[in-house]
A and B are shown apart, each in its own frame.
Chain A
Amino acid sequence: GQQVMQIPQYQHVQEGEDFTTYCNSSTTLSNIQWYKQRPGGHPVFLIQLVKSGEVKKQKRLTFQFGEAKKNSSLHITATQTTDVGTYFCAGWASNDYKLSFGAGTTVTVRA
C-alpha cells in the first residue's frame, strides 16, 4: 500500500536558523498536504500542493512538490518559537480522499 515517509523525525533548531523537512512517497501522489500540530493540540491544515514542481509560500514557510509528484519539502526560514510543533505531510494517490500521513517532524526551538 501507499507509504509516506518523512525525515527527520526530530529537528532541534536555534532560533533564527533555517531548516527543511522532507517527505517521500512510495507511489505517485495526486495531492500532498501539510499539517501542523502544536503540543497537546490537533493537526491543522497548512497548505495543499497539486501540480508537479509546484512551490507555495506562506510567510517564512516554503512548500515544494517534486517534479515526479513523489516527494515534497517544507522549508522554514528564520525559525521562531511559534514554529514549535510537529509538521506532517499527507498524501493520496487516487481520488478517494484517503490521506496517508507521514510520521511527522517534531520541531523544538532553542531561544
Chain B
Amino acid sequence: DAGVIQSPRHEVTEMGQEVTLRCKPISGHDYLFWYRQTMMRGLELLIYFNNNVPIDDSGMPEDRFSAKMPNASFSTLKIQPSEPRDSAVYFCASSRPGQGKYEQYFGPGTRLTVT
C-alpha cells in the first residue's frame, strides 16, 4: 500500500493568497483527519471525516479554513485568504477503526510558509 499521500509537500505563498492542500487516504480507511503542527501549539486536530462526512470541525481556526471530502479517496483543506500565522506543517491521517485497532496513519505532511 502506498500509505497516505499528501500534496504538495512544500508550499510557499504570499499573505492573502488561497492555498489548497490535498490528501489521499489509505484505500479502505473510513476516517480521515486533518492536523496542524507548530512549535508553539503542537499537534492540533482541525477536522475529521467519517465516510466522507465531516464529524467534528471544532478545531478549525476560523472561517478562512474549509475542508471537503468529495469521495472516499480524496480530501482538501483550503485556506482563503492565507496569513503568516497559518505557517505550519499540515498532516492528513487516515484510520479504519475496528477489531480493537484504532491507530492512525499519517501522511508525510505539507509544510506551508505564508510570507
Q: How many residues of A contact B (CB 8 A)?
A: 21
Tell me the bound Cα distance from A99 to B77 in angstroms.
Answer: 19
With a CB–CB cut-off of 8 A, which chain B residues contact A48? 101-103
Check A44 for interface membership: any CB of B closer than 8 A.
yes
Q: Which residue, of B48, B56, B104, B107, has the highest number of chain A Cβ atoms within 10 A?
A: B104
With a CB–CB cut-off of 8 A, which chain A residues contact B33? 99
Instruction: Flag if A50 contacts B100 (CB, 8 Å).
Output: yes
The residue from B42, B45, B100, B101 contacting A103, defined by CB atoms under 8 A apart: B42
Instruction: Flag if B102 contacts A33 (CB, 8 Å).
Output: yes
Interfacial residues, chain A to chain B (CB-CB below 8 A): 31, 33, 35, 41-45, 48, 50, 88, 92, 96-104
User: What would 6 more interface pairs be, CB under 8 Å, given A45-B105, A97-B50, A97-B95?
Assistant: A35-B106, A42-B106, A43-B104, A45-B104, A97-B97, A98-B48
